[in-house]
């Protein structure tokens, strides 16, 4: 079974794409999903197709929920 690597990137304001997208694109990441109605979430595919990079704004409650779910999966 292949597993996808997930990376969470927390920025000051994920809606302010000009502050982080150029740097990610220069590193080979490609913006795939833009979800302004869901915590201003952005999803990038990494230069290695096995990587999903999730971008959220600082203080977004979804970050902690995702981490708790990850931890639950690891122990169950």
Instruction: Give the C-alpha distances (Å, rounded to integers) separating 23 from 38, 59, 67, 70.
Output: 23, 22, 25, 27
Q: What is the pTM of this model?
A: 0.86
Nearest to 16 by CA among 52, 55, 44, 45: 55
Q: What is the DSSP letter of 48?
A: S
- C-alpha span between 38 and 51 (Å, rounded): 21
**DSSP H or E segment with residue 66:** helix 61-75
Q: How confident is the model at residue 50 (pLDDT cuts 50, 70, 90)?
A: confident
pLDDT of 76 above 80: yes
For the stretch 3-47, pLDDT in tens is: 678 889 999 999 999 999 999 999 999 999 999 999 999 999 988
CATH number of 5-75: 3.30.720
According to the model, what pLDDT value does residue 48 have? 78
- Give domain limits for the chain: 5-75
According to the model, what pLDDT value does residue 5 have? 85
């Amino acid at each position: 079974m292949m597993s996808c690597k997930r990376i969470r990137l927390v920025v000051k304001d994920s809606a302010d794409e000009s502050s982080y997208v150029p740097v990610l694109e220069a590193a080979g990441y490609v913006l795939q999903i833009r979800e302004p109605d869901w915590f201003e979430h952005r999803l990038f595919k990494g230069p290695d197709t096995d990587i999903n990079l999730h971008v959220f704004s600082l203080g977004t409650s979804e970050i902690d929920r995702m981490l708790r779910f990850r931890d639950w999966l690891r122990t169950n």
